[in-house]
Copies of this chain bind each other. A is one copy, B any other.
Amino acid sequence: MEQRVSLVTLGVADLSASRAFYRRLGWRESSVSNESIAFFACGPMALALYGRAVLAADTGITDAGPAAFNGVTLAHNVRHRDDVAAVLAEAVAAGATLVKPAQDAHWGGHHGYFADLDGHLWEVAFNPFVPLDGSGGFHLP
């Protein structure tokens, strides 16, 4: 697994209120944002705001409150579709828990999730619309 964080996603209760808060802080949304998710480009990575319930659902976890889901995911984007399953297998071999096996994602990519030893959730994702740069950077417009 290469050493990078491509995306930090914060689960939020009220997406409109939350994106307005970050805008008031001076943050500007990427043009790839849409009604259901707000993206903020931060150089070679990005921050996203996404409804807490849909974020939990994306991981496959039942959001039974903060003990079940801490409301944050990290994404590690990969260069090729097949890298998703390979990185998930590598993580499991290192002691991670497989949370969601590699599969096509509703947004047109391919992804899966693992949890580290403390349950911190990592999405491993192939995004065909935003290819990584030579050093693995994930640059949103």
Interfacial residues, chain A to chain B (CB-CB below 8 A) = 1-5, 8, 10-14, 17-18, 21-22, 24-28, 40-45, 47, 52, 65-67, 70-72, 74, 90-91, 93-96, 116-118, 120, 135-137
Contact = CB atoms under 8 A, between A and B. Distances in A.
Q: Looking at chain A's contact residues, is the secondary structure mostly helix, strand, loop, or mixed?
A: loop
Nearest to A46: B5
Copies of this protein, total: 2
Given A71-B120, A116-B18, A135 B65 contact: no
24 contacts: A1-B25, A1-B27, A3-B26, A4-B42, A5-B8, A5-B45, A5-B47, A10-B116, A18-B117, A18-B118, A21-B96, A24-B93, A24-B95, A25-B94, A26-B90, A42-B45, A43-B135, A43-B136, A43-B137, A47-B74, A52-B118, A66-B70, A72-B72, A72-B120
A2 B26 contact: yes
A121 to B, nearest CB: 10
B67 A13 contact: no
B70 A71 contact: yes
Nearest to A43: B44
B118 A4 contact: no
Contacts of A14: 117
